[in-house]
Amino acid sequence: MDTVASFAHASGAGQPIMSPEQADRLMIEVEKGQQVAGHFPSAVALDRARRVLDGTITPEQALREITARFA
């Protein structure tokens, strides 16, 4: 289980992990960090990560979305 998923699980899946402002900052860091590493995450992937952070979906639901998309 990765760090975000672990944190989400510990805080109660489906519950907001952080404030909207914290989520905004983290998503900017994630996107820029990925770009610096030569990766360009899709808008869909970034949206999925945001929805986990804001509690809209659980990490497990996000994994099911990924599996459905790439299966």
What is the number of domains present in the chain? Answer: 1
Range of the domain at 17: 3-70
- The per-residue pLDDT for 12 is 53
> What pLDDT, in 10s, does the model give residues 19-52?
888 989 999 999 999 999 999 999 999 999 999 9
* Structure-model confidence comparison of residues 71 and 34, the more confident one: 34
How far is it, in rounded angstroms, from Cα 29 to Cα 43? 15
Q: What percent of the chain has pLDDT over 90?
A: 59
pLDDT at position 1 is 45
In the numeric block, the tokens 């809209």 are attached to: 56
Q: In 31-67, which positions are buried (b, 16+ CB within 10 angstroms) versus exposed (e)?
A: beeeeeeeeebeeebeebbbbbbebebbbeebeeeee
Q: pTM for this one?
A: 0.71
What is the rounded average pLDDT for all residues in the chain?
84
Q: How many CA atoms lie within 13 A of 22 on its CB side?
A: 6
